[in-house]
Amino acid sequence: MSGDEQALGSVWTRPARTRRARPELSREQIVSEAIRLLDEEGIDALTMRRLGSRLGAVAPALYYHVSSKDELLELVVDQIYGEIEVAGESADWRGGAVRTARSLRSVILRHPWFGSVIGEAGLVFLGPNMMRASEDILAMFERGGFTLEQADHALNTLIAYVLGSAISEAAYLTMLARSGQSERDLVEQVWPAAEKAAQPYPRLRKLYAIQHGKNPHGTSEADFDRRLDLFLDGLQTWLTSADSHDGH
């Protein structure tokens, strides 16, 4: 292994392990159990020792497949990306982008810890599920008339929007679950402090007044779709403008 590969410390860059007798424990079993642990107890509970205990495995069985927790997180993140349902062969890029964005949002909300590991997962773009999803999304935009470079910009901006929005929503839902209260009860409890904090800021004060009493979860879904529409409107304008310039 070269020094560069060692420095990167990525499961996607190091050579495959070579050993005469492969342990019975598979990589798929390790990743699946890690995700179950994360779903049940969150990121703070994930250690190699704890994972090995849940699997009934000794350390060498784990370290045959992953040399560190960082490598495990790369595998976990790529497995989660495999849950995304990317739009099929339709030429309707906008409808496909909506379906893809909603699917990614749902995946993040199913795994609320995802936001706390995505920034620590190393070379996530090299994972096979991430590669497959990226290829399919690029193809979706290309079928809609985007050049490959435009499709790449659209892909990265779409993913950035969904991650930013859904990770914040997942953090809120995690806080709600820890509080043991209903969403409405928690909002009503926090609302007086929010209104007081907003008093010096007229626009925020007006917004809070408008939003008071609305269903927070219903609003978050509607807000996600509304902001997604704004983003897609921008892509449509960009595409139309590029086509217009190409025609001159």
pLDDT, one tens digit per residue, over 80-91 is: 999 999 876 777
Q: Which of 26-30, 103-107, 183-187, 243-247 has the highest mean pLDDT?
A: 103-107
The answer to whether position 231 is within a domain reads no
- Judge contact between 163 and 115, C-beta under 8 A: yes
Extract the tokens encoding 2.
Answer: 């070269």
- Domain of residue 50, residue span: 3-80
pLDDT, one tens digit per residue, over 169-202 is: 888 888 888 888 888 888 888 888 988 999 999 9
Share of the chain above pLDDT 90, in %: 49
| C-alpha to C-alpha distance for 116 and 26, rounded to whole angstroms | 26
**Four-residue CA torsion sign, 92, 93, 96, 101:** negative
The answer to whether position 246 is within a domain reads no
Domain CATH for 71: 1.10.10.60
The answer to whether position 110 is within a domain reads no
**In 3-state terms, what secondary structure has residue 70?**
helix
| End-to-end Cα distance, the chain | 53
The answer to whether position 234 is within a domain reads no
pLDDT beyond 60 at 244: no
Contacts of 205 (CB under 8 A, 6+ apart): 195, 198, 199
pLDDT of residue 78: 94
* Mean residue pLDDT across the chain: 85
The answer to whether position 60 is within a domain reads yes
The answer to whether position 67 is within a domain reads yes
What's the number of domains the chain is made of? 1
The answer to whether position 7 is within a domain reads yes
Q: Specify the pTM.
A: 0.83
The answer to whether position 168 is within a domain reads no
